[in-house]
Amino acid sequence: MDDRNQFIEIILDELNLLKPKEAQALLDEVEERYYLFWHSVKWSWEEINGLFSAQLCILKRRGCPKDILDILTGKRGDVLAKVSEMGGVLKKNIPFLAVIPPDYMSLYNLMCMIHHDGGGSVDAPRVKPPIQRNMVEKPEEPYFLIDVEDGRANLRKFGDRKVSFGKPRSRIISESIKGQGRFLLTYYEGVALAILSGVLSRHYIRCSGSSCGIPEFGCDLSLNHQGTPTFGYAGEDSPTSPTARWGTPSCCSWI
C-alpha cells in the first residue's frame, strides 16, 4: 500500500458516519491537501535510482523485448544526470518515464502491457482510429520523458464550461500547458504513462501531443465498462460531465 492510500484510510471511519455527499466532499478535501503537500516535497536520490530499475522491471515482466530494454538501460547515466541538473523533481510529478516508439512496438502490443488495479485487462485492448501525426518531433528509438505530470493538475480546470472565447476546453488546457514551457504527450507516450504509472485506475488521459484523425483532436486513453484499455478520438467534455475523469499529461523534456 502506498502513502496516498494510507493517508486516505486514516479518515475512512469518519467517512462511514457521513452522508454520501458529505463523505465525497471530505474525501475531495483530503485528496487536495495531500496533492498540495507533494508540491513541496522532492524525490530522494535513492528513490530516483530505484524508480529507474522498477520501470525496466515492469517492462520486462510485461513482455518488452530485450533489445529495447538494452537501449533504455544504456540511457541510465544520462537520465539520472538530467534529473540531477534540474535539482530534483517534485513528488507531484514523475521524474522520468521510459517510452517505446511505434517503430519498435505496435500500439496494440503496447496497450496489451497496460495493467490496472493490480491486474491486466479483461479483454484485448481496443484501438479505434488511425494516428495521423505527432505535433512535436520525438526520438525514433526508445527514450525517456523528463518531469512528467500525469494530467491531474488540470482535471478540474475549466470544468464549468465547454468553451471559452470560442475555444474547446481541451484546447484551452493544451495552450495553458504550452504556456508553461511544457510539452503535451503523444499517444504512445500516454500509453507509456498508463503502463508504468497505473494512471487509468485514477483518471483517464487525453494525449494532445498527437493529432488523431481530425486536425487538433488529441487521442483518448481510458478503460471501458469491462476494464479494457481503450484508445480513440478525443471527445469534448460535456459541461455537466464529471471532468475529473480526464486529464492532459505533459513533460518538460526528453532524453
3-state secondary structure 123-177: CCCEECCCCCEECCCCCCCCEEEEEEECCHHHCCCCCCCCEECCEEHHHHHHHHH
For the beta carbon of residue 95, count every other beta carbon within 10 angstroms.
24
Q: For residues 249 and 172, which has the higher predicted lDDT (pLDDT)? A: 249
Whole-model pTM: value is 0.76
- Evaluate if residue 7 carries a pLDDT over 90: no
- Evaluate if residue 161 carries a pLDDT over 60: no
Is the separation of the CB atoms in 149 and 182 below 8 Å? yes
For the stretch 210-230, pLDDT in tens is 876 565 566 788 877 777 888
Q: What is the CA radius of gyration of the chain?
A: 18
- Angle at 43 (CA atoms; ends 42, 47), nearest 5 degrees: 165
- Evaluate if residue 252 carries a pLDDT over 90: yes
